[in-house]
Structure 1
Amino acid sequence: MMMSKHVPIPTEWQADFLLKQYSLSHRLGYSLSGVVLVFLPIFTILDATLVSYADGELIWKHILFRLPAVILAITFLLLHHKKDPGFWAYPLLLTLNLSIVGMMAAMFVLHYSEQGGRLLYITQGLTLVIITVATATVYGVRDLALIYGLPLTAVIAFIVFSGSPFPDNPIHLTFIPAAIGIGVVIATMLYQEHQRTFIASQQLEHSALTDALTGLPNRRSMQTDLQAEWSRAKREEQYFAVLMADLDRFKAVNDQHGHEVGDEVLTILATRFTNTLRGGDRVARWGGEEFLLLIPSATEESAMAVAEKVRRAVAEPPFATSAGNLAVTLSLGVALHRQTESIDEVISRADKALYRAKQEGRNRAVLAGD
């Protein structure tokens, strides 16, 4: 069976992937706990009626072996229904899986010296469990190294050091390594599928919130940022500034040099924005050659200082394009948010200030008034 090539998670998405895996741990642990609490009582009844009916002590040993898995399953369900937000789900799921394999490994050791149907029955149960827990792993082989490693190392140590005779017909023991191989394949494929699904989801979200040409956030993305900043400013009684920026005479660039050169200008402009702005400042392509800059925790003076810094960074040096060096300038309208106004109102004031900057000769930043 061929497995697809491993696709690593990009560094900038690893924190989100970690949260996604913890969410997956909740779902897998919830399902596995339900399976444990349904099927372990059934198998205990089967033990009593089909296998160990005449041996009450043996039945109690089987119940004792199953008790840790039952306790862990109940614990998982209780924590899940309490909606505990902590990162307990993954380690608890790992421990639950380990207890299930450990339960069957302990029964295997208990019945190893026996010949006949009982050992075959337990071996089949161990084989089934080995494959089943592989479907409830979060990190594939990394999880299985613990889930399989500890119980099966103990089983091998028992066989080697106990002096118990090897079964006369050991063919059924080959089920165990075969099940381990199948489990490794299943866990690896599921983990890789989790990665591919996550990456595809992130790429889709990124493309929905990113301008394809410039790589900057798009209008939809900035609207989300504006809403979050507006809520924060209102809650903390602070201010933020909105800067509307528009390239001067950009239509002439497209008409004279073509739209491909115009696209080069927009791409270079985006780079100059990101290289000039401070860490907390944000910029998005608002539409066409118009860009919106969001400056958190601003004053009129600091917002104008950012606007002037951006304007100078665009004006010098010239833009190096396939049509040669082009002199490009930018006009900006600056509006400081007021506590009583909406997002649309502050954007409207920034737009009016931008219009004034164009009227007053372009290549300048104008502060919005009333």
Structure 2
Amino acid sequence: MELLAIPTFAINSQGRVLIWNRACERLTGVPAASVLGTDQHWRCFYSMPRPTLADLVLQDRQFDVPQLYDQHVRRSADGAGLTAQNWCDMPRLGLRRYLAADASPIRAGDGTLVAVVETLRDMTDEKQAQLALEQLATRDGLTGLANRRCFDHTLQAEWQRALRQQQSLSLLMVDVDNFKQYNDAYGHLGGDECLQRIASAVASEMRANDLVARYGGEEFAVILPNQALKGAAIVAERIRCRVEQLQLPNMDSHVTVSIGAATALPAPHNEISQLIATADAALYRAKHMGRNRISLTEAWEWAEKKLAQS
């Protein structure tokens, strides 16, 4: 094991390091002398205490793997060996690395567990390339916001979560007023810059768990999880004011946005399409009432009125 080109370490039945080969030294920046005989090998990979994959095999804690690792599988036929991948802090090196780990038990003739061996592979470059591809697949090329595909996926996920947790879910539809005239006056390059600045303004008003996406053309959509209609109205008004403050010239005035807001409490008999349609209807009302304003609707109330009318 000492001469293997693959980073490898082994722990005994008490969780103390037996082997820390040279490849593992190079990977972690930690010399073997610092870790042999100790149970502090986790410090080579993480800033906060947490078990390595070898520790989980030793402690028969395979059911904790999903909470600790991004990807994981059971490798051996008896289910004792584990394979997993995760980001590691690598404190000694001062940088994060994405490592693939394999941990396998070593047993005596009577089946007693005497040690666990863990091998490691640095997959940082592959992971970063994968993330870059995912970014291209989910981001709008012009504005850097989430694209329509990402919006659809996220809205579906948030709807299901709101359904499970019985929380409200709000949606804003944001449309740039008189954008055709802006394009005619400043050309498509000017129009692109206008959309980029508006995208930044909208994104600046988001919480960490909100999502703003380019829905299409000059229209943006904002998903507000666990946000009631009153809260959605406050966010919508902040967005409207922020865009107005950009003071982008358009005809005799400045570029503004109209916003339709809708809120629903998801239930088994409701559908996501109803929430989108309600927000769209609210946006149409804002446009019809003179633009540069917000219009609000609660989706389930709207649905009940439609049913009553029918």
State TM-score, norm by structure 2: 0.59
The CA deviation at 1:339 is: 2.9
Matched, 1:351 2:280: yes
Structure-1 residue corresponding to 2:204: 275
Q: Which of 186, 209, 219 is residue 290 of structure 1 equivalent to?
A: 219
The CA deviation at 1:298 is: 1.5
Cα distance change, pair 363–25 in 1 and its aligned pair in 2 (3 A)? closer
**Structure 1 residue runs without a partner (length 5+):** 1-17, 31-75, 97-132, 140-190
The CA deviation at 1:368 is: 2.2
Q: How does 1:191-206 map to 2 (within 5 A)?
A: 191=122, 194-206=123-135
Structure-2 residue corresponding to 1:299: 228
Deviations along 1:209-253, one digit per CA (max 9) or x if unpaired, are 100000000111111111111111111111111111100001111
Matched, 1:231 2:157: no
1:25/1:90 contact within 8 Å kept: no
Matched, 1:92 2:103: yes
**Separation in 2, partners of 1:257, 1:292:** 25
- Give the strand-richer structure, 1 or 2: 2
1:333/1:352 contact within 8 Å kept: yes
**Separation in 1, partners of 2:124, 2:225:** 35
SS of residue paired to 1:280: coil
**Separation in 2, partners of 1:336, 1:304:** 10
- Give the helix-richer structure, 1 or 2: 1
2:84/2:102 contact within 8 Å kept: no
**Structure 2 residue runs without a partner (length 5+):** 1-52, 54-64, 87-99, 107-116, 303-310
**Separation in 2, partners of 1:288, 1:86:** 39
The CA deviation at 1:338 is: 3.6
Q: After TM superposition, what 4+ stretches of structure 1 lie above 3 angstroms from structure 2?
A: 22-27, 83-87
Aligned residues: 209
What is the root-mean-square deviation in Å for CA atoms of aligned residues? 3.6
1:245/1:333 contact within 8 Å kept: yes
Structure-1 residue corresponding to 2:294: 365
**Separation in 2, partners of 1:273, 1:331:** 12
Cα distance change, pair 196–241 in 1 and its aligned pair in 2 (3 A)? same
Deviations along 1:248-300, one digit per CA (max 9) or x if unpaired, are 00111111110001100111111111212222221100000111111111212
State TM-score, norm by structure 1: 0.50
**Separation in 2, partners of 1:86, 1:210:** 25
**Separation in 2, partners of 1:287, 1:294:** 15
Q: How does 1:129-278 map to 2 (within 5 A)?
A: 137-139=119-121, 191=122, 194-278=123-207
**Separation in 1, partners of 2:266, 2:71:** 42
Quick one: percent identity of the two aligned structures?
38
SS of residue paired to 1:335: strand
Structure-2 residue corresponding to 1:146: none
SS of residue paired to 1:368: strand
* Rg larger for: 1
Structure-2 residue corresponding to 1:337: 264
SS of residue paired to 1:79: coil
